[in-house]
A and B are shown apart, each in its own frame.
Chain A
Amino acid sequence: MGIKIAYNLAQVVVVMLFAPLVAGVINRLKEMVQSKRGPSIFQPYFDIWKLFHKDEVISEESSWIFRFTPYLVFVTPIFVTLLIPVLTSYPLFFAFMGDMLGGGFVLALGGFFATLAAVDTGNPYGPMGASRTRLVGFLAEPVFMIVFFTVSFVAGSTIPYIVQQKWVHPIANFFEPTHILVMLAFFMLILAEGGRIPVDNPSGHFELVMIDESKGLEYSGPGAALMKWGGQMKLFVLICIFLNVLVTPWGLASGVGVGELLLAVPLVLLKIFIFVLALVTVESSLAKLRLFRISEFLGAAFVISVAAMITWLFAV
């Protein structure tokens, strides 16, 4: 019992420690693809460190929501980390506190408050970004639902630890069309929810076309650091769900030994690195979509997820 709580907390520590690294690696790789040298992969750590030591300026016109939001954005991915398999393939202490839908709702709570906070200050760009985020969000929501329902229908459970066993035992299950289609739909969702390129440009500096970034423009100092760190952790958690639950549940610790847990850390990071390579390939080879084309992108994701469900429902 005690060791399971400790491991659960170890997962949180891993997510907190390595989320900025993943963001740094993505940035560096993208710059390298554009034949630039790019910042150090540890740059996000320096940024967060710097921001924590700066003064914070808060608009007098803003309400408690604006002050409260950074903490919530920071804490919600941590809660989700408690529910999902990051390092181990067996359920940990908090695994049965909530299922995948619960995790989705917790993440959505953070997003909801970030949107409210963007509207709160009266900065003209905030509400614009907020309304666009909602546009993407409400188009992504049905896809999330169908993907989760399909996955839990197939596995007969909504607990991620049980779902991950389904696709690889036996190995033939991995090639089921439902599995591949769900993977594809979820990958498109990560692109949309993480504000990656076909939907949103994470490194853009032009406020008029921003979707995700413009929500945090008003934050400074520690608030900005928390928002940034929280966003990076959210991406890390989404990647973990994608890799450890849906795609490749290999390389996780299966025993209770500390050694296995420590070995799982580099293996998981390796998997994430491979995923990041794929992500950078997609981001470097596609152009950002026009705002009203986003509905087509997510419409395609929706169709793929429903196709996944149909092929399972009528499977022989």
Chain B
Amino acid sequence: MPHVAQPESIVVQLNALAGGLFLLSAFGMVATRQVQGCMRFFILQSVFLASSAVLLGLELRSWHLIAVGVINLVNKAILIPWLFKKTVSEEVYTKREISQVLNIPISLLVALGLTVGAYYLASPMLKVGAGLPALANLPIGLATLLLGAYTLTVRREAVPQLLGILSMENGAFFASLAIAPELHLFIELVIAFDLLVAVFVIAVLTRAIQRRIGTTEVGSLAALKEESVR
């Protein structure tokens, strides 16, 4: 049944709202045309992720989730954009339109289909866990995971593809708040640093590609060319 009329606390509602806006920023990443816009939506998404973690921390009275939220905020909303700015700034901040395999209205419809699919997949689990405060996070995280994968597939540029991967990670994280809110803090820290290293490596790679061929439009790379090393 759609909605059980039960008094929900305002914190739970705010968490659901953060979830809705989180999903919306994932849609934004599918729909924007410029790298900078993509970046901004990613930062927004991370902020909503962090706020959801903090809100759930307040609701479940665990300082742990609040710490997770702060780690996420610092890592994804500040460090990663800063890293991008340092390594591939001309690519991020030039106002150029990103080419896409599918045009944007079709992309949006596909994204919608993915979201419905995610909700459909999550619905049996939603029935099992009815009443948990973090339950709204599960389908939204799943949907964002799929949307990130979709962004990764259709974008032809290196930086938005990387942002797609990060969005997938965000989605998985968001869903994990529902499934395993008591994950050990060390693991969170390890994930955060791993992510930072991965971003750094891919950004440097992007920069190398750009040096070599003058663009980061990796979709137009038709074949791998082997150079004589010796």
On A, residues with C-beta under 8 Å from B are 170-173, 175-178, 180-181, 184, 295-296, 299-300, 302-304, 306-308, 310-316
Chain A residues within an 8 Å CB radius of B153: none
Write the nearest CB–CB distance from A212 to chain B, whole angstroms: 22
Given known A170-B7, A175-B13, A299-B105, contact A180–B21 (CB-CB < 8 A):
yes
| Complex contacts, B119 vs chain A, CB 8 Å | 310, 313-314
Q: Which residues of B contact A316 (CB under 8 A)?
A: 4, 126, 130-132, 135-136
| B112 with A177: CB separation less than 8 A | no
Size range of the interface on B? Answer: 35 or more
Supplied contacts A299-B109, A303-B109, 7 more A-B pairs, CB within 8 Å: A180-B21, A181-B20, A296-B105, A300-B31, A307-B20, A307-B112, A315-B2
Chain B stretch 4-31: residues in CB contact (< 8 A) with chain A? 4, 7-10, 13-14, 16-17, 19-21, 23-24, 27, 31
Contact B24 A181, beta carbon cutoff 8 Å:
yes
Q: Are A177 and B19 in contact (CB under 8 A)?
A: yes
In the assembled complex, the Cα of A144 lies from the Cα of B223 at a distance in Å of 47
Could you tell me which residues of chain B, from 102 to 151, have a CB within 8 Å of some CB in chain A?
104-105, 108-109, 111-112, 115-116, 119, 122-123, 126, 130-132, 135-136, 139-140
Q: Within the assembled complex, what's the spacing in Å between the Cα atoms of A306 and B112?
A: 8
**Is the C-beta of B211 less than 8 angstroms from some C-beta in chain A?**
no
Contact of A177 among B17, B123, B130 (CB under 8 A): B17
Out of A172, A178, A312, A313, which one reaches B10, CB within 8 Å?
A: A172
CB-nearest residue of chain B to A139: B105
- Closest CB of chain A to B155's CB: distance in Å? 16
Q: Hey, which bits of chain B sit against chain A, CB under 8 A? A: 2-4, 7-10, 13-14, 16-17, 19-21, 23-24, 27, 31, 104-105, 108-109, 111-112, 115-116, 119, 122-123, 126, 130-132, 135-136, 139-140
CA of A306 to CA of B108 in the docked complex: distance in angstroms? 11
- Pair B19/A315 contact, Cβ less than 8 Å: no
Residues of B within 8 A of A311 (CB): 16, 19-20, 23, 136, 140
Q: In the bound complex, do residue A175 and residue B24 qualify as a contact, i.e. CB atoms below 8 Å apart?
A: no
5 A-B pairs in the complex with CB atoms less than 8 angstroms apart: A175-B17, A296-B108, A307-B115, A311-B20, A316-B130
Q: Is the CB of B108 within 8 A of A299?
A: yes
Given the complex of chains A and B, what is the CA–CA distance between A250 and B124 in angstroms? 39
Chain B residue contacts of A181, Cβ below 8 A = 20, 24
Check if B108 sits within 8 Å of A300, measured CB to CB: yes
Distance in angstroms between the alpha carbons of A60 and B20 in the assembled complex: 56
Are A173 and B105 neighbours in the complex by a CB distance under 8 Å? Answer: no
Q: Which residues of B contact A303 (CB under 8 A)?
A: 27, 31, 108-109, 111-112
B13 and A314: CB pair below 8 A?
Answer: no
Inter-chain contacts of A177 with B (CB < 8 A): 16-17, 19-21, 136
A180 in contact with B17 (CB, 8 Å)? yes
Which A residues touch B122, using CB under 8 A? 314
Q: CB distance B27 to A312 under 8 Å?
A: no
Most buried by A among B4, B8, B19: B8
